[in-house]
Chains A and B, each alone.
Chain A
Amino acid sequence: MHNICKDYPQGREVVKILKNVELTVDQGDYLAIMGPSGSGKTTLMNLIGCLDVPTSGVYLLNGEDVSKASENRLADVRNSTLGFVFQSFYLLPKLTARENVALPLLYAGVKKRERLRRAEAALEMVGLGERVDFMPNQLSGGQQQRVAIARAMINAPKLLLADEPTGALDSASGQQVMDLFDELNENGATIVLITHEPKVGARARRLRRILDGALLPEEGGGADG
């Protein structure tokens, strides 16, 4: 993975949600972005996640300028380069854990047998190897989020993007999920966390705060680990 530069001097017609944001995430980084609601952190997350394109500015992801990519190209980039973890998991209720995890590979054109095999391996990795055939509603919140993380990791993303990953979990499950993130980072995954919980932000190696659409300069943060 190469250096990722993000540079968004962004201005929308009326409200400037993000103002001249400069951000670089290196391979293996573990960054938390914190800010109160309305600060623009969700917009930033959408931009980082290629769910949206900046009004102006340049976003280099994995060396590719995706700030002006087509919709289909963005879909492919999301599929091959990014992994998403959401606050409310977004597992498909009618698919088993294994099928949920395998879903991104379907869009990548991987054959079914291979998809399911890799999905099992990914579930193994998040400690749910015993529950591959469970439906989402048979799993606890923490387990569901771990399934979601397995899904995010299945395509070996260059960047794992987590939006309030513990927001819907009790503290014990939240703790487990955060432990999982730490472990993934130790194994080389690049992680960007969006959160408003200081405790969660403190787990990351780097911490940036966002306020009124402007990214504040880096502070000491949670230091290492």
Chain B
Amino acid sequence: MLENISLAFQGIWAHKMRSFLTMLGIIIGIASIITIVSTIKGTNDQIKESLIGSGTNAVTVQLSQSGSVYDMSWQAPPEGVSPITEETLQQLADLDNVVAASLFSSRQVYNSEICFGNTAWSGTLYGVDEDYFAAGGYRLTVGRGFLADDFSKFRKVAILDAAASAVIFGSASPVGEILEIKGEPFTVVGVVDRATAGEYVIESYRDYDMYYGSNAGGKVFIPLGDWPIIYRFDEPQGVILKAASTDDMTRLGQQAEDLLTASQISADAAQNGFAYKSDDLMAQAAKIQELSNATNNQLLWIAGISLLVGGIGVMNIMLVTVTERTGEIGLKKAIGARKRRILWQFLTEAAALTSIGGVLGVAAGVGLSRFIASAMGTPSAVSYPAIAVAVLFSMLIGVIFGMIPAVKAANLNPIDALRRE
């Protein structure tokens, strides 16, 4: 076997030009496949990263009816949905791989419910507990966060997210300014920002609610204990969970959905379509990845055609080689080489030819995708499994397309083969 391989490489080296031209089809095919796969992987990585946010891993679970988030701004609190208790929250916090669990109330606000001077603001108002910013992956950018006293003394303080701060105060610092929320004065103490940013796939009203409806004008946060000052105390709440890793998010979301739906929602309310739903960012990421993959897969098929053409080129040149080396084959058979040995010799040569082509193609593909990535600013990531598959596959092409020439060589009659020269 080793003998065959070294003979094969000698044969290829002896016809450098011809071998290279023959390989070119394989090189181009493999290079384009590697380029496409690198782009796919780069895009997918980017989608996942920007959507889920590196390290944020926050799963939001909210009450919904018939698939849409239940918005209290225009409808009464639902019957048969009980407020989430400390015990239930503790149960959620005790689920596997939960880093932090936090309770919140939220609603969309418009109609001048929140004003700064004469300016009305619409967006989402949140009543949050101590753990919310940690669980939701927010970081403080200006001022201070909520203190223990803010909660225990029901201080009327508010924190804005960057969007709300920009909408209401422009580039000026909002700290120390007074916001009127339903007529109650709240002092702004800080601004928070979230690392997460990304495009979402909107497939339903619920998706819009989840990803854009709540983001439009930004967010204003007040301590959860202040919520009954301005709204009803028995409004159903949502939960935000911070997962240990992104891979836990989908499972955790489902567990929380099941737990909350079972413990908070009466049978009657469930009949009316009430349920707790999580925003599955992983599923969102998968949706977007599917979209980009669908187009890229078509490209892969086209690249596959060039591999086919390359394979036919290899077959062609191997047939020529067999004809050229009829004398050699005849002699080898005459001095005792079995059919199988001749078959293997030519199969090895074809496979070596395409494998070298595959390796060169991978190198060219990696180089090309790097170049495209830097020239056009598109993401690109080297996929090692893809490289392994590409090299193995090009070897396979050699075996497949080398088969006919090799069988032809093996079946040569030594008498005819020796006579022909």
Chains A and B come from one and the same complex: yes
Q: Which residues of A contact B (CB under 8 A)?
A: 46, 49, 51-52, 71-72, 75-76, 78-80, 84, 86, 88, 90, 92, 94, 103-104, 106-108, 112, 151
If A51-B415, A88-B421, A90-B418 touch, does A78 touch B328 (CB 8 Å cutoff)? Answer: no
Pick the residue among A46, A72, A90, A92 that contacts B415 (CB under 8 A): A46
Pick the residue among A51, A104, A107 that contacts B414 (CB under 8 A): A51
- Least distance between A167 CB and chain B CB atoms (Å): 13
Pick the residue among B327, B334, B336 that contacts A108 (CB under 8 A): B336
Contact with A along B1-32 (1 / 0, CB 8 A): 00100000011001000000000000000000
For B414, list chain A residues within 8 Å (CB). Answer: 51
Bound-complex Cα distance A112 to B3 (A): 9
Contact A107 B335 (CB under 8 A): yes
For B334, list chain A residues within 8 Å (CB). Answer: 49, 51, 78, 84, 90
Looking at chain A's contact residues, the main secondary structure is: helix
- Is B287 engaged at the interface, CB distance under 8 Å to the other chain? no
If A51-B414, A90-B418 touch, does A75 touch B333 (CB 8 Å cutoff)? Answer: yes
- Is B107 engaged at the interface, CB distance under 8 Å to the other chain? no
Bound-complex Cα distance A181 to B42 (A): 72
Complex interface: stretch among B122-130, B337-345, B386-394: B337-345
A-B contact count (CB 8 A): 56
- Least distance between A102 CB and chain B CB atoms (Å): 11
Q: Which of B295-340 contact A (CB under 8 A)?
A: 327-328, 330-339
For B333, list chain A residues within 8 Å (CB). Answer: 75
Pick the residue among B10, B11, B335, B339 that contacts A71 (CB under 8 A): B339
Can you add 9 more A-B contacts, CB < 8 Å, to A76-B338, A86-B418, A90-B327?
Answer: A46-B415, A72-B338, A75-B333, A76-B336, A84-B335, A90-B334, A106-B3, A107-B337, A107-B338
- Least distance between B172 CB and chain A CB atoms (Å): 83
- Least distance between B349 CB and chain A CB atoms (Å): 13
- Least distance between A224 CB and chain B CB atoms (Å): 31
For B331, list chain A residues within 8 Å (CB). Answer: 86, 90, 92
Contact A107 B341 (CB under 8 A): yes
The 5 closest A-B pairs by CB, nearest first: A79-B336, A90-B331, A107-B336, A104-B335, A75-B338
